[in-house]
Structure 1
Amino acid sequence: MSNGGAGEFLIKPWEVRGEGREFEKISNDFARAAQGLEQGLTGLGTPWGGDEPGSGFGTEYTEAQGMLLAGLNGLADRLGKIGTGLHTMAESVDRADGEVSADLAKVDAGRPPVV
């Protein structure tokens, strides 16, 4: 930034929307992968057995598996929310640009033509 802190930046809403769609796609892909992992782990059953060592392992494994899957699903949800936030940002930029353009048109309409 130069000019005493005044700067310029450009936001292209169509690009922001595109990135939002990418995050939503990644979120959906990630959620499907987490679901596939969960189904695969469930398909393994409980091969550790019901004796004392097997039961102890099973308890710890089941708890860790639940935490892992919850974390993966939470990450998929957060990625989707980033996409939603990017769409909201693009809409806000479009709305602000439209309002500023309308205000400038009103100001210009009140000025005499430049000769």
Structure 2
Amino acid sequence: MAGGNSFVIKPWELHGEAREFERIAQDFGKAATALEQGLAALGSPWGLDRPGTGFATVYREAHGGLLGGLRGLAGRLGQVGAGLHGMAERTADADSSAASGFGGGVPGAPGGPGVAKDRSA
């Protein structure tokens, strides 16, 4: 909070956090793939006896759910990043619109009036 009754949103910082979420999502997806490959490399080490077939049944059901959940989580982390980019863009647009109504630029924005929508910075 700045000044007690307001808060400050800096679009360029939101873009930075969005890129961080996108990186985490990519890393998480890679980790899920590595786990899947590692488990596949193990093959089916359980036996064909009664305990082994019981374990195999439970394992196969849990395996699909676990990997699907991990991939879903990676996707949702990426969506958070996309949402933060959208919030940053809408904030920058609202700031620019409000500032132009007063005949000035966006105070404190890097590079002067307005905020560039460049996500690669």
Percent identity (aligned):
56
- CA shift at 1:83, angstroms? 0.4
Matched AA of 2:54? G
**Cross-structure match for 2:89:** 91
Bigger shift: residues 48-57 or 60-69: 48-57
For 1:89 and 1:69, how far apart are their aligned partners in 2?
A: 30
Count of aligned pairs: 102
Secondary structure of the structure 1 residue equivalent to 2:48: coil
**Cross-structure match for 2:56:** 58
Which of 80, 93, 100 lines up with 1:82 in the alignment? Answer: 80
Higher relative contact order (CA 8 A, sep 6+): 1
Q: Which has the larger radius of gyration?
A: 1
**Cross-structure match for 1:41:** 39
Structure 2: runs of 5+ lacking an equivalent:
105-121
Query: How does the TM-score come out when normalised to structure 1?
Result: 0.83
**Cross-structure match for 1:111:** none
For 1:46 and 1:56, how far apart are their aligned partners in 2?
A: 13
Query: How does the TM-score come out when normalised to structure 2?
Result: 0.79
Matched AA of 2:31? A
For 1:68 and 1:91, how far apart are their aligned partners in 2?
A: 35
Matched AA of 1:47? P
* Cα RMSD (Å): 1.7
Secondary structure of the structure 2 residue equivalent to 1:105: coil
Could you list the structure 1 runs, at least 4 aligned residues long, displaced by more than 4 angstroms after superposition. Answer: none
- CA shift at 1:55, angstroms? 1.4
Q: Which has the higher helix share?
A: 1
Structure 1: runs of 5+ lacking an equivalent:
107-115
- CA shift at 1:49, angstroms? 2.3
